[in-house]
Chains A and B, each alone.
Chain A
Amino acid sequence: MVLDIERDQRRFKQIVRGRIRENLRKYITHGEMIGRRGKDAVSIPLPQLDIPRFRFGKNGSGGVGQGDGEVGDPVGKPGDDPAGSGGAGSEPGSGHLIEVEVNLDELAEMLGDELELPHVEPKGTASISAEKAKYNSVRQTGPESLRHFKRTYLNALRRQISTGNYLPDDPRVVPIKSDKQYRSWNDVPRPEVNAVVIYLMDVSGSMTDDQKQIVRTEAFWIDAWLGKQYKGIEKRYIIHDAVAKEVDEHTFYHTRESGGTRISSAYKVCAQLIDSTFPVSDWNIYCFQFSDGDNWGDDNRQAFELLNEKLLPAANLFCYGQVESPYGSGDFIEALRKQFGENDKLALSEIADKEGIYDSIKLFLGKGK
């Protein structure tokens, strides 16, 4: 019997990847289509890959069913796919969706190909290694709690059969000391996380949910790309209005304050974070700031000072994305441009709407830092 389904499966996956690549722009700008699957994988909805045929269309979508119910009773929603004549008619584009699971690394690679992103050059070669215990071997001694049940009994069975103590009619297997096997560990050196991404976001009243969605989508792709470039990355989140604080991811996207805006406060927290936790010599530091560009007039000077003295020297890359809000955009990006001009470590981008995400990512990550 020849079984070579792997080949067909591989081919199918290739085709699926091809489809994703074709539609990548859509997926990039509509990040909400992408579902998370565990740590390293995402699921992407894809129109059913189907072979077109002459088929019955919409007005044939009915059939014969069986069961109780009065005339007029609902029996199912269109998504339930009744197997009547021709099946449910589907509008163009709204065919059956299949969820395809894609490895995050693979997705990042597609992103890189699509946006023609250069590979990141890590700053320095410093990479910390740590020993990690991994349970991947077996030995003769150990605590009972680590006893390898299967191996122990297999040994006992073997011994009993070879000594003739095993009776098939009374299959009793009793391990003795020499049969016992215990799980044991080895120390595996593991390269330690050596990049950190710090997200800063303005949560003052003028940032609406739509803007946050844009930030979220963009952050997803930034994570995916940098995650591929570095073995593991740390992520930190800072929100600010007039004051700033470090928060977790959930809070980052779900907080809404009503206060004014003082960007320098966020810079200050960011600088402190870098000083205290991420020494510049050991870490590749990426800062991504998102705001609608409104800042208290007299705060700009202080902010630039911090940026110039603390953040830019420390970071590999400092990106500022100005998201257009319904209340209009501020002029922080202009001020930055005037102040710093062409700075190699600073990337500035204006994101008008969802469609802007594509170019913004390209701009940020295109620096290859």
Chain B
Amino acid sequence: MAAVEPGKLTPELAAIQVEIEGYARGYGLDFFPTIFELIDADQLNEIAARGGFPTRYPHWRFGMEYEQLSKGYHYGLQKIYEMVINNNPCYAYLMRSNGLIDQKMVMAHVYGHCDFFKNNQWFAHTNRKMMDDVANHGTRIRRIMDVVGVEDVENYIDACLSLEDLIDVHSPFIKRRKVADRFDFSAERQPPGSRSQRFDAKSYMQPFINPVDKLRAQQDRLKEEDESRPFPENPERDVLLFLLEHAPLKTWQADILAIIRDEAYYFAPQAQTKIMNEGWASYWHSTIMINQGLTAADVVNYCDHHSGTMASAPTQLNPYKVGIELFRNIEDRWNRGAFGREYDDCDDHDRRKNWNTHAGLGREKIFEVRRIHNDLTFIDEFLTLDFVREHKLFRFGYNPTSEAYEIESREFPRVKQQLLESLTNRGRPIIAVVDGNYKNRGELFLQHQYSGVELQLEQARDTLENLHRLWNRPVHIATVLEDEEAVISFDGSEHQLQSADPADDSEDAA
């Protein structure tokens, strides 16, 4: 057979890659070396099912994803155009059956993503050798499976995945607590109570300078302080880390939990920047294609696919569409100088519309935006009243009487509020460990920071069951249900739901 490496680009495509890469660099995009692989739809679906990685740990969930993707593809309902991995070098996949113009567009799009991965600050702490690491994770878990057994390991992975959202996305950037030196054993060597202050004194002066009864009193006080100190000292958002450090895990269990946590941190920025990332990539594929990539013969095909990507359904905000339009909007505003105090204070619609100081700062600004922001701050800063009107954004909600989703409002503050809420903490509830020794019985107490939307009770219960499997002692989560504070608990055999009552606690503690 032909000696073509699987996945290698055809000479024609390789030439296109060089061309597109040149255009991208010309615009100032800055990316890791990018490797394109040309693969069949089936392979693409397999890789997509594994979150973009060709090799990962074995898990049924990937099989399920694959079933859905491949059915969707074979029934002609969906098709993956582009897939790119945040890695150095960047890997991107092209589907063999796509037309040439599609491949060109996808390449341009991919360079947008690569630039974003490399330069956006939220990705600054992601692992750039993740491709290798994920493969290694696979090997590690496979080895554990060989020893412990597939079923046990898979059930355990299910339990870990159930908690994988409970990480602190800001922790790579902030030092929340002192880093303990792994090789500093002084804390352990110090006998209990020796923290009390003892002044240097000659031996005959000892009873006067360091009176025994005072020392003892001080020791007792310190001991009491130690015991009453909360554990953890501050609420811990990184629940997975807390479990790693304090849950009674076997070595293999800790190993797997660490893997799940690593991967969760790796994927988190992608969830945080969905709108920006796709918007940025779409902005560049359209810029490159329209200005350089297209020949007259390609225009119709290109437009067809571009508009397909940008299509939005009434109940689904298309991140590609919102992202690209916001970037264009920002570029336009900064080109016209339509920003700053004077512009914001101006309430003459016509003047605002035709505002132009020929500032010409648009390009510069969007490059800055792509470096600094994530979706939440991006929307907060740049979603304006004019934009919401122009793009007909609305807020919808469920109407129980008509059993349908209905448009609730077109008012700017409400639309923006809803959008921001859905982006906060990647659209997931904010949960932290507040007590790892609840009731002084080694029970785990989590706190859901309630912000107006309740937890789904069934799911919360199932999740607690999984948490219990790791913690091995009763677990609780405090939240709000039906406008009342409530604690959902699971003690290993049965679920409990009670409205939070502090009197109950003190009684138990006594």
* A residues apposed to B, CB below 8 Å: 1-5, 7-15, 49, 51-78, 80, 82-86, 88-90, 92, 98
Question: In the complex, which residue of chain A has the Cβ closest to the Cβ of B462?
Answer: A52
Q: Is the CB of A3 within 8 A of B43?
A: yes
User: Interface SS of chain B: helix, strand, loop or mixed?
Assistant: mixed
A14 to B63, CA, bound (A): 11
Question: In the complex, which residue of chain A has the Cβ closest to the Cβ of B318?
Answer: A66
The answer to whether B172 has its CB under 8 Å from any CB of chain A is no
B236-250 at interface with A (beta carbon < 8 Å)? none
Instruction: Kindly count the residue-residue contacts between A and B in the assembled complex, taking CB atoms under 8 Å apart.
Output: 219
Chain B residues lying within 8 Å of A89, measured Cβ to Cβ, are 398, 456
The answer to whether B6 has its CB under 8 Å from any CB of chain A is yes
A267 to B393, CA, bound (A): 70
A24 to B1, CA, bound (A): 50
* Shortest distance between the CB of A37 and any CB in chain B (Å): 13
The answer to whether A71 and B408 touch (CB under 8 A), given A53-B459, A56-B453, is yes
Question: In the complex, which residue of chain A has the Cβ closest to the Cβ of B427?
Answer: A85
* Shortest distance between the CB of B493 and any CB in chain A (Å): 18
Apart from A66-B392, A66-B394, A75-B407, list 12 A-B contacts with CB within 8 A: A11-B154, A52-B463, A54-B165, A54-B428, A54-B448, A61-B397, A67-B312, A70-B407, A73-B406, A76-B314, A78-B403, A86-B456
The answer to whether B81 has its CB under 8 Å from any CB of chain A is no
Binary CB contact string for chain B from 442 to 482 against chain A (1 if under 8 A, 0 otherwise)? 00000010001111111111110110000000000100000
Q: Is the CB of A54 within 8 A of B166?
A: yes
Q: Is the CB of B165 within 8 A of A53?
A: yes
Stretch of B16-24, B52-60, B114-122, B224-232 contacting A (4+ beta carbons < 8 Å) = B52-60
Q: Is the CB of A3 within 8 A of B46?
A: yes
A90 to B448, CA, bound (A): 20
Partner of B408, one of A3, A7, A58, A62: A62
A349 to B186, CA, bound (A): 80
A92 to B165, CA, bound (A): 22
A90 to B459, CA, bound (A): 10
Q: Is the CB of A64 within 8 A of B54?
A: no
Q: Is the CB of B166 within 8 A of A75?
A: no
Q: Is the CB of A55 within 8 A of B428?
A: yes
Q: Is the CB of A12 within 8 A of B64?
A: yes
Chain A residues lying within 8 Å of B161, measured Cβ to Cβ, are 51
A356 to B224, CA, bound (A): 67
* Shortest distance between the CB of A300 and any CB in chain B (Å): 54
The answer to whether B97 has its CB under 8 Å from any CB of chain A is no
A13 to B61, CA, bound (A): 10
Q: Is the CB of A66 within 8 A of B312?
A: yes
A15 to B403, CA, bound (A): 33
* Shortest distance between the CB of A197 and any CB in chain B (Å): 33
* B residues apposed to A, CB below 8 Å: 6-7, 43, 46, 49-50, 54-55, 58-64, 66-68, 154, 158, 161-166, 312-318, 321-322, 391-399, 402-410, 415, 418-419, 421-422, 427-429, 431, 448, 452-463, 465-466, 477
Q: Is the CB of B394 within 8 A of A65?
A: yes
**Minimum-distance CB pairs A-B, first 9:** A52-B462, A12-B63, A8-B63, A60-B453, A57-B456, A82-B315, A85-B422, A62-B397, A9-B63
Partner of B456, one of A4, A9, A55: A55
Q: Is the CB of A57 within 8 A of B61?
A: no
Chain A residues lying within 8 Å of B398, measured Cβ to Cβ, are 58, 61-62, 78, 88-89
* Shortest distance between the CB of A72 and any CB in chain B (Å): 6
Q: Is the CB of A78 within 8 A of B429?
A: no
Chain B residues lying within 8 Å of A71, measured Cβ to Cβ, are 394, 407-410
* Shortest distance between the CB of B129 and any CB in chain A (Å): 17
Q: Is the CB of A65 within 8 A of B422?
A: no
Q: Is the CB of B456 within 8 A of A58?
A: yes
A56 to B449, CA, bound (A): 12
A62 to B408, CA, bound (A): 9
Q: Is the CB of A64 within 8 A of B49?
A: no
* Shortest distance between the CB of A9 and any CB in chain B (Å): 4
A66 to B324, CA, bound (A): 14
The answer to whether A58 and B431 touch (CB under 8 A), given A64-B418, A74-B406, is no
A61 to B408, CA, bound (A): 12
Q: Is the CB of B162 within 8 A of A51?
A: yes
Chain B residues lying within 8 Å of A80, measured Cβ to Cβ, are 315, 405
* Shortest distance between the CB of A3 and any CB in chain B (Å): 6
Q: Is the CB of A56 within 8 A of B406?
A: no
Chain B residues lying within 8 Å of A69, measured Cβ to Cβ, are 314, 394, 407
Q: Is the CB of A55 within 8 A of B429?
A: yes
A141 to B318, CA, bound (A): 59
Question: In the complex, which residue of chain A has the Cβ closest to the Cβ of B453?
Answer: A60
Q: Is the CB of A58 within 8 A of B314?
A: no
Chain A residues lying within 8 Å of B407, measured Cβ to Cβ, are 65, 69-73, 75
* Shortest distance between the CB of A119 and any CB in chain B (Å): 29
Q: Is the CB of A64 within 8 A of B60?
A: no
Question: In the complex, which residue of chain A has the Cβ closest to the Cβ of B59?
Answer: A8
Q: Is the CB of B62 within 8 A of A5?
A: yes
Chain B residues lying within 8 Å of A76, measured Cβ to Cβ, are 314-315, 404-405
What are 16 pairs between A and B in contact, CB < 8 Å? A1-B7, A4-B58, A8-B49, A8-B61, A14-B60, A52-B162, A52-B463, A61-B405, A65-B312, A65-B314, A65-B316, A67-B312, A67-B394, A69-B314, A72-B406, A77-B404
Chain A residues lying within 8 Å of B318, measured Cβ to Cβ, are 66
A98 to B65, CA, bound (A): 12
Q: Is the CB of A51 within 8 A of B58?
A: no
* Shortest distance between the CB of A44 and any CB in chain B (Å): 14
Q: Is the CB of A8 within 8 A of B60?
A: yes
Chain B residues lying within 8 Å of A56, measured Cβ to Cβ, are 427-429, 453-456
Q: Is the CB of A83 within 8 A of B403?
A: no
Chain A residues lying within 8 Å of B54, measured Cβ to Cβ, are 1-3
Chain A residues lying within 8 Å of B166, measured Cβ to Cβ, are 54
The answer to whether A5 and B66 touch (CB under 8 A), given A51-B61, A56-B453, A92-B458, is yes
A90 to B403, CA, bound (A): 13
Q: Is the CB of A85 within 8 A of B418?
A: yes
Q: Is the CB of A67 within 8 A of B392?
A: yes
Chain A residues lying within 8 Å of B431, measured Cβ to Cβ, are 54
Q: Is the CB of A64 within 8 A of B58?
A: no
A66 to B68, CA, bound (A): 27
Q: Is the CB of B63 within 8 A of A13?
A: yes
Q: Is the CB of B391 within 8 A of A66?
A: yes
* Shortest distance between the CB of B482 and any CB in chain A (Å): 9
A350 to B263, CA, bound (A): 58
A222 to B427, CA, bound (A): 49
Chain A residues lying within 8 Å of B461, measured Cβ to Cβ, are 52
Question: In the complex, which residue of chain B has the Cβ closest to the Cβ of A7?
Answer: B58
A52 to B456, CA, bound (A): 10
